[in-house]
Structures are given as structure tokens and as C-alpha cells.
A and B are shown apart, each in its own frame.
Chain A
Amino acid sequence: MRNETQLSSITIDSKIPAGPVAEKWENHKFSVKLVNPNNKRKFDVIVVGSGLAGASAAATLAGLGYNVKIFTFHDSPRRAHSIAAQGGINAAKNYHGDGDSVHRLFYDTVKGGDFRAREANVHRLAEVSVDIIDQCVAQGVPFAREYGGLLDNRSFGGAQVSRTFYAKGQTGQQLLLGAYQALAQQIGNGTVKLYNRCEMVEVVTVDGRAAGIVTRDLVTGQIQSHSAHAVVLATGGYSNVFYLSTNAMACNVTAAWRAHRKGALFANPCFTQIHPTCIPSSDEFQSKLTLMSESLRNDGRIWAPKNRADNRLPASIPEDDRDYYLERLYPSYGNLAPRDIASRAAKRAVDDGRGVGPLQNGVYLDFGDSLKRLGPDKVTERYDNLMEMYERITGESPYETPMRIYPAVHYTMGGLWVDYNLMTNIPGLYALGEANFSDHGANRLGASALMQGLADGYFVLPYTIGDYLAPQLNQKPVDTKHEAFLTAERSVTDRFSQYLAIKGTKSVDHFHRELGKIMWDYCGMERNETGLQKALSEIPALYSEFKKDLRVLGDGTSLNQSLEKAGRVDDFFQLGYTMCQDALARQESCGGHFRSEYQTPEGEAQRDDENFAYVSAWEFTGELSDARLVKEPLEFEAVALATRSYK
């Protein structure tokens, strides 16, 4: 049995500006220090990651005049996983006059996050959402249009207005290409230097401030230091700790975790999101799960058979034997209930023995009614690429038989703790996008990830970073020959040599799969104390096997994909342990964190605002050892704490 949670002695300041929530950002923009346009070129900024947040930040900072270096482990910045987002991006434009406003988007996001997000950050996000759409349209993002030529919208889970802008089912791709093109322009101008196939493997601090990073060139294995006045991590989320998730294969936690090891607090790691509409897995060797955009829930109806083990074909199951459970349980939101609620409802149906498909591991998402109402052409226009993708993967046509769906890990709300300026508790180290924790609380609403990534990169960091840089005018970045860099380089070299030197018998993927099973079983869609305690004893056992029995072939001086992955899986082990610790310590259910001990009689999440209305920020104390907790209390001034109801 583990000991009680230890509290950390670190103090944090969220730097939330004073004043009414709707005026905080406006006031803050005026109060932060500015760097004169002619002085911006005297500052070097490192951006790690080239997704929506990283590319937009790098392009904007360079456009302002800063010297920027951007690092990506991909072959091109355009490959970042933001590209896979399908459904859309929210903005409080109210173009359709259906009652939307900045305040409503703010309210929906705070409520959707189950009151575990910072009000001030969320309000800022809602405010800048409208600027993002303008920016992207001007960049040439081909958003869907109505016949009159104006922008079209659709609705998404957790909202009763249509505020989601989209580009077919490829909104993430088009927004990322917009940011990538803006970045490419700066690279072409020489204001951004691009390092591709180059992975950040260490953060370097000098006198408690971020001084730079150490990277490993994936093609040559070369370890190199880079210094700057500020370091920005925009390195995405950590869903791949579960092995099977909807994330791309290379998504990892390494950059954030290496920062955490250097003193940056990691906030709410157990807040992970399970997306309700993914394709159920078909066999054990499956490498990843594929998401079907939540937007499908606009026109698809979710149901499971009323009777257990009903093996009839879906078409042969009469209406009376179908349970449209979301419409039944949540009449006002119906199929558009928020993700956590829709996911758990699917799990309950499958756990109840009413699952469908060969492995009985899914529920139906049925377009039958929409095809009748709208006709196949309209459905094709809205969801063409998704329909095709489903058929390609499963061999079944959704025009003929309902899709089978099941929840899968999709997004992580937790991440590096940041203050209102998006700076971690290490001065000069920033975290943007999914890599930070700040805006989504315990559950993210659909179409809000793209919004947050671009908000942070285009409209928040460029304003707040000056406040940190301005006082450092005419100071040079730390020399990369500084002892701190040399020590970091040595430790990285040693770490990668060690993976090669183990010469055990099992592959990196083997360990990743096993870790994923533990995480999914005990820290997945539903958690409880017994399971989490079990995970906390199984993870260290597996980790020590990893350190003894790992087999990585090849060498460290040329391209070696197993070696790259070994470093990432190592960090996943350490993160996984802290996630379970966080899930255990949070003795309540909220949003994506569902503790079976804490539920209402109807099986909904039961929050404990009295004792847990805070952000859990964890301090690193050693590999797989108990982290120490820093609490950031959450205050709700503009939105009254209330039980979420989507009935």
C-alpha cells in the first residue's frame, strides 16, 4: 500500500490578472512588457514541435522579428498530428444568429470541462476564438461555405449552438497547412531555422531558468545543444501511454516529461479523454485505433440492441428492439452529449453484453434515418472521406450497414502546468497546445483542441513572451559550452547507449503494449482504488524488466527507429506511474476521470467541489517514485459551480 500524498514545498503563482473575467485579457495585454520592434531580433526563441501550436507560435514570433529555431522529429513540419483532427474548430462568431456569444462559449467550455479548468484562461480562449477564424480565412484555409459564399457551421457535442467551422472532414489538416505555410514563409525568409528529423531529448536549465535544449538528430544520431532566451514546448499529448489510442505512432511525452524531470510541474496527468466514436479494434496486433469524427453524431444515431447477445444483422433488428440510449438518457442533447458521457454510456452497453460486431466490442452509429431524410448525396457531401475511411478499414459500407464504434483514448487534458502567460514554473520555459493543461479542465469539448492550439500560438504567446524577454535585453543566451549543457549531453548519450547495451530478448513494442494494457485496464475509462494500487505495483515491475530485458538492435550513430522508441517508452513508464498516482489521489469523478467509487445513483460522475476544486500539479522526485503535490485552487466567479446535466 502506498503512503499518503506528500505535499511539495514549491509555490506557484498562476498570475491570473485582477478584475472581472471578461476584462482580464484586455487589461493584461496592456500591462505586459513589450519588446521594441528593433530589439526583437536580439532574442532567440526555441520552439519544439510543429503542430498547430508550435507552427503558429514560431511563424508569429518570427513575423514579429524574433529569431526562431523550430524542431520537429518528423521529416517535415506538416506531418504533426494536428493534421489528423477531422471535425472542426469552434469560434464564438454567432454567424448564424443562434444565440452564441463569447460568454456562451466560455460557459460551455467551463461546464464541459466539469469545473476543473481555470476560468480566466477559458475566457481568453473564447475571446480569441473569433480572431482565429479571421486569421485562418485570410491565410486561405478552405473552410466549408454556404451557397451565398459565407462560412458554414455545424454543431458539436456539448453545445446547443452551431459554432463549429470545418473544412470537409479534414479541418485539422487545413488549419495545420495554414500554420505550416505561414511557418514555411518565415523559413524561406530566413527568420526561422528548421531542424527536421531532430528530437528534443533534454531541457537545460541554468540558474533555475530555461537555457536551451539538447537534441538527437534522428538520421545521424548526433547529440547537440541549442541555447536561447526562451524555450517553447508545443509537443502534444501523451495518449500513447495507453499504446492503443487514436494518436499517431510517434506521438510521445518525452519533451514534456524531460521538462518535468528538470522541475516543471505536471498538472492533472490523469485527465485523459476517451473519444466515443472510434472504430473498435479487430485483433491483438492492431497498432492504433482510428477515430471517426464526432461530427458524425450530427446525423448518425447511436444505438445498441435492447437484448443481450442479439446476433441478428442490424437491419433485421426492429426499432422496438433497439436502444437509442443517448436519446433516451439525455433527451435535450441526445446524440450530441459530451464525449465523456457518450463514452461511458457505450461502455455500459458493451459491459452489459449488448455489444455488437464480431468481438461484441462496439455499438452502432446508424445513418439509416439521415440517408432517408437527406439522401445519400448530402450525407456524402458532409462526411465523404469519413465514410470512405471506415469502409477501407472495416470492409463494410456505412451506406449499407451501420458503423460500429467504440470509445478510444484520444486526447489528454493534463500536461505541463503553466501560468496565465503559458509559462511553466521554470522561468523561460513555455508550454502550448495539448502539451499544457490549462483550458479544458477534466474534459475537452469537441472542436476545441484546434481552437486552443491556434489561440496559444497566434494570439497568446506572442503577447505574453515579451513580458519575460524584455528585461533580458542585450543579454546573450547561455553558451552551449556551459557545464549544464555538457552534463545534459553526456546524460543523453549515456541513456541511449544504455538501451543498446541491454541486449535483452524483448522488443520496445512488447513493453509498450504491456504498459498500455496496464494503463487501459486500471487507469482507462473507469478507475478505482484497487485497480490503481495494482497498476502502481505492476508498472515498476514491468519497468525493471524493461531495463533488463530490452532488445534494441543496430547502433546509435545512424537512423534507428527502435532506439528512438526506446527513449519514448522509457518516459511513458515514468508518466504512467504518475498518472495512476494522480488518479488515485483525486477521490472524486469529474469529466474524463471516472472513479467508480464516486458516482451518482444514475451512474454519472460525482464531483467533490468541497475537497477537489483544485489543479493537481506534481513535482518530480525520481523515476517511478511518488511525486509531490502542489495544489492550485480553482475559483469560479463567473460560472457558478453546478452539477453538469445534459438531460
Chain B
Amino acid sequence: MTATMNSSTGGAAQQGKTLNVTLKVWRQDGPAANGRFETYEAKTISEDSSFLEMLDLVNERLNDESKEPITFDHDCREGICGTCSLMINGVPHGPERNTATCQLHMRKFTDGQTITIEPWRATAFPLIKDLMVDRSAFDRIVESGGYITVAAGGAPDGNLIPIPKPVADASMDAAACIGCGACVAACPNGSASLFTAAKIAHLNLLPQGQSERYKRTESMVETMESYFGSCTNHGECQEACPKGISIDNIALMNKDYLKSKFKNRRYLSRS
């Protein structure tokens, strides 16, 4: 039970637990400019505020001092759109497991703490400004095969394709990926294997995904490799993933990739 729930007054007096933190923030005016750390004091931050609301407040104060606010990506602020990023004290999305930066709250930090904030750092994610990077390479991977071909209007009745519940659940677990890029930022090789594998597993596990299974796998893996590094089983991606996507998906991807090399050749020789 939390302190607020024990409130006997029930009034506003109970809220107002605040903390002061020191921020070391990566500032970089553009892709070609030199970057640097700037230090900001974030004072009297409510512990109920989210990490990004803390940054909003810092920005509001910077604006008051005629200093340009910090640029960072964010949107839904409920952990689902995958727009937010941030390396917080060297950990993608910060210290709380299975939590995207936007859902991280200041109660997870201590008064007087120094917090270092950096952008995702990966060759395939070129920096745009300050803490914002370009993750378009993810779109290129999906474009290369992360779909099931079906024209609107041509689908059979939904219940004509029964799917065992455990299969549907496993597919859903992989499909939960929000495409934030934490896996890439965490990987010493800058690999997007977890992202790619999650999409491949989502579709390859389903009966609907079988027709294009091997074409999809070969194409997506090779597109991924053309932008990102390769997987050498560090497992950092799984630790960093805000949605808890398992590296088991990478095993499935690797198996299907290997098979694709035989299957796709066989299909080609027939055509």
C-alpha cells in the first residue's frame, strides 16, 4: 500500500514528494555537428511525474532562460507507440525492466542522483538532433517481407482458419514489439536481430504466414544485415526490450533462415 493511499486528509497536502536530480544530457545540433554533454539541475521534480514529464519541465525552464530546449522523440506516453528512446545511465529506457522511457517514473530515482541521458548509438540509426535518431532502417526491413499478402476483400471468413490458442498466444507475444530500437542500442554489434526475429516469428508461426514464410525470412534477414550488425548471442537485446520479447525468436529466425536457403533455391529451380 502506498503512502498516498494511507492519506487521512485525502487532500493535496499528501502529494508533493519531490526530488532534485542532476542531468548530463547529450546535445548535438545536427548530424554533422560535434556533440557534447550539458549539465542541467532538475529541481523539485514530483516523484509522480514521468521521466519525460521531468524533461518537459527542464525544457520549459530552458525556454524561460532563452536556451533551446532538448530535442527528444516521444508521442503516446503510454508505452505502445515506440517513439520514445533514450539511453538512461547507459541502459536503454532506463532502470525499470519491461518499461519504455515514457512509462518510467521519477519515483524510481533517488534524490541527488546524477542521470546521464544519451541517444541510441548505432551506425544504422544516424543522429538527427540531440537525443533524436533516425530509425527508418526498421521500416526498410518490414518493407522487404514483414507482411502477409492479402488484397482487401479477398479474405476467407475469419473462423475458417482455426489457430490453436498457444500458437496464437506465441505469435501475439512476438507481435508485441513496438519497434523502439532498444534492442539495437543495447547490442554490442548494433544488430537488429531481435526486432527482425519478432516480426518473422509473429508471421511465421501463424498458418496464414506459411505461403511466404521462407521468402519473407530470407529477404528480411538479408535486408537487416545490410543495415545492422549480426547477432552473436549476447542476449543484451532481450534484457533491454521494454516488451520482454524473447531471444527464442532469434533461434526461430535462424532456423527458418537456414531452411530458406534450401527451400527458396528449390522453388527457384522449379520456376
> Measured between alpha carbons, how far is A76 from B134 in the docked complex, in Å?
9
> Measured between alpha carbons, how far is A146 from B53 in the docked complex, in Å?
40
CB-nearest residue of chain B to A76 = B139
B79 touches A509 (CB 8 A): no
> Measured between alpha carbons, how far is A249 from B84 in the docked complex, in Å?
12
B147 touches A359 (CB 8 A): no
Interface check A148, CB cutoff 8 A: yes
> Measured between alpha carbons, how far is A459 from B12 in the docked complex, in Å?
51
A139 touches B208 (CB 8 A): yes
B53 touches A286 (CB 8 A): yes
Smallest distance from the beta carbon of B160 to chain A beta carbons, Å? Answer: 9
B129 touches A77 (CB 8 A): no
B179 touches A553 (CB 8 A): no
Most chain B C-beta atoms within 10 Å of own C-beta, residue among A148, A180, A288, A510: A288
Contact with B along A399-416 (1 / 0, CB 8 A): 011000000000000000
B60 touches A360 (CB 8 A): no
Smallest distance from the beta carbon of A457 to chain B beta carbons, Å? Answer: 8
Smallest distance from the beta carbon of B227 to chain A beta carbons, Å? Answer: 14
Query: CB < 8 Å: which of A170, A285, A559 contacts B71?
Result: A559
Interface check A113, CB cutoff 8 A: no
Q: Which residues of B contact A562 (CB under 8 A)?
A: 63, 69
Interface check A622, CB cutoff 8 A: no
Interface check B46, CB cutoff 8 A: yes
Q: Which residues of B contact A283 (CB under 8 A)?
A: 15, 46, 48-49
Q: A78-B82, A134-B157, A287-B56 are in contact. Are A145 and B165 (CB under 8 A)?
A: yes
Q: Which residues of A contact B249 (CB under 8 A)?
A: none
Interface residues of B in 156-197 (CB under 8 A from A): 156-159, 161-165, 168-169, 171-172, 175-176, 178-179
B152 touches A459 (CB 8 A): yes
Contact with A along B56-77 (1 / 0, CB 8 A): 1100100110111101011111
> Measured between alpha carbons, how far is A80 from B76 in the docked complex, in Å?
9
Interface check A250, CB cutoff 8 A: yes
B161 touches A137 (CB 8 A): yes
Q: A140-B148, A143-B168, A562-B69 are in contact. Are A313 and B202 (CB under 8 A)?
A: no
Interface check A248, CB cutoff 8 A: yes
Query: CB < 8 Å: which of A135, A180, A359, A394 contacts B150?
Result: A135
> Measured between alpha carbons, how far is A505 from B64 in the docked complex, in Å?
7
> Measured between alpha carbons, how far is A284 from B134 in the docked complex, in Å?
32
Query: CB < 8 Å: which of B142, B159, B175, B209 contacts A184?
Result: B142
Interface check A458, CB cutoff 8 A: yes
Interface residues of A in 145-195 (CB under 8 A from B): 145-151, 167-168, 170, 172-174, 177, 180-182, 184-185, 187-188, 194
B53 touches A285 (CB 8 A): yes
Number of residues of chain A lying within 8 A (CB) of chain B: 93
Interface check B115, CB cutoff 8 A: no
Instruction: Give chain B's interface secondary structure class.
Output: loop
Interface residues of B in 70-100 (CB under 8 A from A): 71, 73-83, 96, 98-99
A392 touches B103 (CB 8 A): yes
Interface check A396, CB cutoff 8 A: yes
Q: Which residues of A contact B52 (CB under 8 A)?
A: 287
Interface check B226, CB cutoff 8 A: no
Interface window among B2-10, B252-260, B262-270: B2-10
A184 touches B143 (CB 8 A): yes
Q: Which residues of A contact B5 (CB under 8 A)?
A: 313, 396, 401
A75 touches B153 (CB 8 A): no
Q: A184-B146, A194-B139, A562-B69 are in contact. Are A83 and B81 (CB under 8 A)?
A: yes
B68 touches A554 (CB 8 A): yes
Q: A139-B208, A392-B99, A507-B60 are in contact. Are A290 and B128 (CB under 8 A)?
A: no
> Measured between alpha carbons, how far is A81 from B146 in the docked complex, in Å?
21
Contact with B along A100-119 (1 / 0, CB 8 A): 00000000000000000000
> Measured between alpha carbons, how far is A401 from B7 in the docked complex, in Å?
14
Q: A140-B208, A168-B172 are in contact. Are A83 and B164 (CB under 8 A)?
A: no
Smallest distance from the beta carbon of B140 to chain A beta carbons, Å? Answer: 8
Contact with B along A115-131 (1 / 0, CB 8 A): 00000000000000001
CB-nearest residue of chain A to B69 = A562
A389 touches B147 (CB 8 A): no
> Measured between alpha carbons, how far is A311 from B178 in the docked complex, in Å?
40
B1 touches A401 (CB 8 A): yes
Smallest distance from the beta carbon of A140 to chain B beta carbons, Å? Answer: 5
Q: Which residues of A contact B176 (CB under 8 A)?
A: 168, 170, 173
Interface check B132, CB cutoff 8 A: yes
Interface check B231, CB cutoff 8 A: no
> Measured between alpha carbons, how far is A389 from B5 in the docked complex, in Å?
18
Interface check B149, CB cutoff 8 A: yes
Most chain B C-beta atoms within 10 Å of own C-beta, residue among A177, A288, A358, A360: A358
B81 touches A248 (CB 8 A): yes
Most chain B C-beta atoms within 10 Å of own C-beta, residue among A138, A147, A309, A459: A138
Q: A181-B142, A311-B10, A462-B152 are in contact. Are A287 and B76 (CB under 8 A)?
A: no
A138 touches B10 (CB 8 A): no
> Measured between alpha carbons, how far is A500 from B139 in the docked complex, in Å?
33
Q: A134-B158, A553-B69 are in contact. Are A181 and B147 (CB under 8 A)?
A: yes
Q: A139-B150, A401-B1 are in contact. Are A81 and B76 (CB under 8 A)?
A: yes
A138 touches B129 (CB 8 A): no
B71 touches A151 (CB 8 A): no
B148 touches A181 (CB 8 A): yes
Q: Which residues of A contact B96 (CB under 8 A)?
A: 392
Q: Which residues of A contact B147 (CB under 8 A)?
A: 139, 181-182, 184-185
Query: CB < 8 Å: which of A75, A77, A282, A510 contacts B46?
Result: A282
A174 touches B148 (CB 8 A): no
A400 touches B1 (CB 8 A): yes
A290 touches B175 (CB 8 A): no
B155 touches A135 (CB 8 A): yes
Q: Which residues of B contact A558 (CB under 8 A)?
A: 29-30, 129
A559 touches B129 (CB 8 A): yes
Interface check A567, CB cutoff 8 A: no
Q: Which residues of A contact B143 (CB under 8 A)?
A: 184-185, 187-188
B81 touches A150 (CB 8 A): no
Interface check A578, CB cutoff 8 A: no
Query: CB < 8 Å: which of B7, B138, B163 contacts A358?
Result: B7
> Measured between alpha carbons, how far is A6 from B121 in the docked complex, in Å?
58
A150 touches B159 (CB 8 A): yes
Interface check A540, CB cutoff 8 A: no
Interface check A196, CB cutoff 8 A: yes
Q: A134-B155, A395-B2, A459-B152 are in contact. Are A553 and B63 (CB under 8 A)?
A: yes
Query: CB < 8 Å: which of B66, B151, B155, B164 contacts A63?
Result: B151
Smallest distance from the beta carbon of A102 to chain B beta carbons, Å? Answer: 15
Most chain A C-beta atoms within 10 Å of own C-beta, residue among B1, B80, B96, B138: B80
A311 touches B9 (CB 8 A): yes
Q: 19 interchain pairs (CB within 8 A)?
A: A60-B152, A76-B138, A79-B82, A93-B158, A135-B152, A135-B155, A145-B162, A145-B164, A147-B165, A188-B145, A196-B136, A219-B128, A311-B10, A357-B10, A359-B12, A392-B105, A459-B153, A462-B152, A551-B63
Q: With A151-B158, A282-B48 given, can you name 13 additional A-B contacts, CB distance below 8 Å?
A: A76-B136, A77-B139, A81-B81, A140-B203, A140-B209, A142-B175, A142-B206, A287-B53, A290-B77, A313-B6, A389-B103, A393-B50, A558-B129
* 3 nearest A-B pairs in the assembled complex, by CB-CB distance: A149-B162, A188-B143, A138-B155
A-binding residues in B (CB < 8 A): 1-2, 4-12, 14-15, 29-30, 46, 48-50, 52-53, 56-57, 60, 63-64, 66-69, 71, 73-83, 96, 98-99, 103, 105, 107, 128-129, 132, 134-136, 138-139, 142-159, 161-165, 168-169, 171-172, 175-176, 178-179, 202-203, 206, 208-209
